[in-house]
Amino acid sequence: MTEETKAAEAQSSESSGADNSQPTNQAVQLNSFYGQKAGMTQIYDESGNQVPVSVIQLIPNFVSQVRTADKDGYEAYQIAFGEKREKLVRNPQKGHLKKANVEKHLTKFAEVKTDGVSEENLGKAVSLDAFAPSTYVDITGTSKGKGTQGVIKRFGFAGGPASHGSKFHRGPGSIGMSAYPGRVFKQKKMPGRMGNEKVTVQNLQVVEVNEDKGYMLIKGSVPGAKNGFVRISRATKKQ
């Protein structure tokens, strides 16, 4: 009985030691993460004022690769997001995620530069502790595509008289010179493709973060269409 008791105590001590050695925090804190725009709505503050807010759906973000100065020349974390069904994920992406010990089927990857990267964070989820309510963030996304548009809609030109016989209503006006220089300058505001560009809106305030229900409320509008991916970063000009 004495030997059995000693063996049981040794086994319990080994198991307790193994539990203590496991990390308690499985998330890494970064200054940026990716979400999905769900739309806009309105809420009311404590004073009863109406506040327009954008709803950001919180999606899984995992560290899929670690960029180091010795190997890559700079320090950054590669973030994987955009979950899909397994059959829609390509085999190279599956292998890349498997190497990082990420079980979810993610298809989009982006880098977040940071100082002091660690290989121990490979495969960990991205924490949202740095994005508490009342903090300011910069939102980056792809704006809605408007197709080919004229100068009035694209740049806000005033246009000409709307009366009959004017012959100048929505045209751009003169765009060139005389014999010299005899060409159109670069960056001249002319009709062309509008939208579908990378846009960043700065200094937006976080109103609410609900990780249990998977959403974040941000005051104001954010670029992009519904269901589009956006990058939420800590504000660089306002804390």
Residues 43 and 66 occupy one common structural domain: no
Residues 55 and 155 occupy one common structural domain: no
What residue numbers bound the domain in which 44 lies? 36-59+132-145+196-239
Q: Convert the pLDDT of each residue in 26-40 to its tens digit.
A: 789 999 999 999 999
In which band, very low, low, confident or very high, does the pLDDT at 181 lie, cut at 50, 70 and 90?
confident
Q: What is the CATH number of the domain that holds 112?
A: 3.30.160.810
Burial of 135-144, coded b for 16+ CB within 10 Å and e otherwise, reads ebbbbbbbee
Residues 136 and 239 occupy one common structural domain: yes
Closest CA to 32 of 61, 53, 55, 64: 61
Residue 101 within a domain: yes
Distance CA 109, CA 122 (A): 14
- Residue 27: the pLDDT is 87
Residue 23 within a domain: no
Residues 139 and 214 occupy one common structural domain: yes
What strand order describes the sheet that includes 76-83?
27-29, 125-127, 62-67, 76-83, 106-113
Residues 150 and 140 occupy one common structural domain: no
Residues 102 and 116 occupy one common structural domain: yes
Model pTM? 0.80
- Residue 13: the pLDDT is 47
Residue 216 within a domain: yes
Residue 31 within a domain: no
Residues 95 and 118 occupy one common structural domain: yes
Q: What are phi and psi of 65, to 5 degrees?
A: -165, 150
Given a cut of 80, is residue 21 above it in pLDDT?
Answer: no
Distance CA 105, CA 131 (A): 25
Where is average pLDDT lowest: 56-70, 167-181, 189-203?
167-181
Given a cut of 50, is residue 96 above it in pLDDT?
Answer: yes
Distance CA 44, CA 164 (A): 49
Residues 162 and 118 occupy one common structural domain: no
Distance of CA 174 to the CA centre of its chain: 41
Contact of 141 with 231, CB cutoff 8 Å: yes
Burial of 52-90, coded b for 16+ CB within 10 Å and e otherwise, reads ebbbbbbbebbbbbbbeeeeeeebbbbbbbbeeeeeebe
Where is average pLDDT lowest: 95-99, 151-155, 163-167, 174-178?
174-178
Residues 66 and 101 occupy one common structural domain: yes
Given a cut of 60, is residue 10 above it in pLDDT?
Answer: no
Q: How many domains does the chain have?
A: 3
- Residue 94: the pLDDT is 94
Given a cut of 60, is residue 18 above it in pLDDT?
Answer: no
In which band, very low, low, confident or very high, does the pLDDT at 1 lie, cut at 50, 70 and 90?
very low
Q: How does DSSP classify residue 124? A: P
Residues 164 and 218 occupy one common structural domain: no
